[in-house]
């Protein structure tokens, strides 16, 4: 199969994400010598590792699709290609203390990464591919899949609220033209604007 067919398989995996997994649906698979040797989507750690084979510490209850696929591929990941529907994370906007996906990919021995869509966050869009390149991994975008992947990454409102809080807390400490430009960019990527009494309460807590 070619890149497009493997990406379609990754999208199928993403679409099968358990309904109790909130947020983005992402799929990934590891290909070695033309065969899929590991695949998965975002999943709870206990369902991937099992109760008796869980690396310690597991800092997040839900594992990213790349981590699941690499775990299932095991040593066969070395020298292989990873296909993933969404650009791998670089650690920003994450509360996890686990190794971010770009670092994990490089450490696993993966030599090529094909992504179906860049991260929609304008602050980090393209930086996952850039970091992979600096880590010695060939990384590129497989064109033509945005329309298929976009519906899968519409996030849960609770996650949007948490990220919006983090973005606001970061921008209120800055001022000037660059800060206003960044704030405008953040508004474009959020689905709601918080105002009124609740905003005043947050601001009071932040400056307390």
Q: Which of 60, 66, 107, 203 is catalytic?
A: 66
Give the start-end residues of each E strand in 65-190: 81-84, 112-115, 138-141
Q: Are 81 and 30 in contact (CB under 8 A)?
A: yes
Task: Judge whether 66 counts as a catalytic residue.
Answer: yes
Q: Residue 2 is encoded by which pair of tokens?
A: 């070619």
Sequence-separated contacts (24+) of 147-154 with Cβ below 8 Å: 148/11, 148/116, 149/11, 149/14, 149/85, 149/86, 149/116, 149/117, 150/117, 152/11, 152/14, 152/15, 152/24, 152/25, 152/26, 152/85, 153/24, 153/25, 153/26, 153/86, 153/117, 153/120, 154/24
List the catalytic residues.
Answer: 66
């Amino acid at each position: 199969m070619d890149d497009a067919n493997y990406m379609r398989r990754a999208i199928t995996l993403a679409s099968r994400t358990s309904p109790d997994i909130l947020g983005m649906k992402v799929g990934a698979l590891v290909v070695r010598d033309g065969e899929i040797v590991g695949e998965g989507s975002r999943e709870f750690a206990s369902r991937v590792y099992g109760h008796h084979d869980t690396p310690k510490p597991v800092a997040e209850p839900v594992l990213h699709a790349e981590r699941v696929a690499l775990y299932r591929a095991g040593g066969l990941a070395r020298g292989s290609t990873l296909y993933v529907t969404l650009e791998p994370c670089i650690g920003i906007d994450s509360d996890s203390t686990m190794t971010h996906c770009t670092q994990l990919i490089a450490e696993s021995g993966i030599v090529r990464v094909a992504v179906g869509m860049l991260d929609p966050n304008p602050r980090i869009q393209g930086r996952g591919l850039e970091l992979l390149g600096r880590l010695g991994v060939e990384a590129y975008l497989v064109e033509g899949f945005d329309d298929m992947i976009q519906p899968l990454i519409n996030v849960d409102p609770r996650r949007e609220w948490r990220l919006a809080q983090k973005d606001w807390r970061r921008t209120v400490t800055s001022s000037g033209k660059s800060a206003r430009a960044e704030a405008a960019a953040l508004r474009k990527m959020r689905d709601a604007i918080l105002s009124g009494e609740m905003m005043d309460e947050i601001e009071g807590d932040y400056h307390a």
